[in-house]
């Protein structure tokens, strides 16, 4: 059995994280010491590691709760359910990557539009383009 600090160290999280997961219903504890300290068993450590690994790949706590329910009751669930959760997250990541690539291209165009000279910023291409708004294409404009 582990106290909360030991459990947290073994799972590479903080005790506050464990308490938060408990409040969210992702973790539980059945046992307390006579002094009232929470005690956790090896299965609860494994659950905490599962949650931490799922967070590392970007699953929301709601998605993790779904995955845990599938894990806890495998007779009433299929791998297809887990795969759908993963596919949703993968689509989210693909969307974020596309958005970041668009930002990257825009920032490159902004950077390319500026001469980077030491003159004052009254005629700074970057500031002018941003002031004109997003409807203006970011063309190559060196001044």
Cα separation, 20 vs 75, in Å, equals: 29
Contacts of 11 (CB under 8 A, 6+ apart): 18, 45, 48, 49, 52
Q: What is the mean pLDDT of the chain?
A: 88
Q: Delimit the domains of the chain by residue range.
A: 1-58, 78-143
Topology alike, domains 1-58 and 78-143: yes
Phi and psi at 130, nearest 5°, equal -65, -35
According to CATH, what is the number of the domain 1-58? 1.10.1660.10
pLDDT at 142: 42
**Angle between helical axes of 15-23 and 42-56 (0-180°, round to 10):** 90
The answer on pLDDT for 140 being more than 80 is: no
- Summarised one tens digit per residue, pLDDT across range 85-94 is 999 999 999 9
- Please, are residues 114 and 124 in contact by the beta-carbon 8 Å criterion? yes
> What CATH number labels 78-143?
1.10.1660.10
């Amino acid at each position: 059995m582990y106290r909360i600090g030991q459990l947290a160290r073994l799972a590479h999280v903080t005790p506050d994280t464990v308490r938060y997961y408990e409040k969210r219903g992702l973790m539980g504890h059945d046992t307390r010491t006579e002094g009232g300290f929470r005690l956790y068993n090896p299965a609860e450590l494994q659950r905490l590691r599962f949650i931490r690994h799922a967070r590392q790949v970007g699953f929301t706590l709601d998605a993790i709760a779904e995955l845990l329910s599938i894990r806890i009751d495998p007779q009433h669930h299929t791998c297809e359910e887990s795969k759908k959760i993963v596919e949703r997250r993968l689509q989210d990541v693909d969307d974020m990557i596309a958005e970041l690539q668009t930002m990257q291209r825009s920032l490159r165009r902004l950077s390319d539009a500026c001469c980077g000279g030491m003159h004052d910023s009254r005629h700074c291409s970057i500031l002018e383009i941003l002031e004109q708004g997003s409807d203006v294409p970011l063309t190559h404009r060196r001044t």
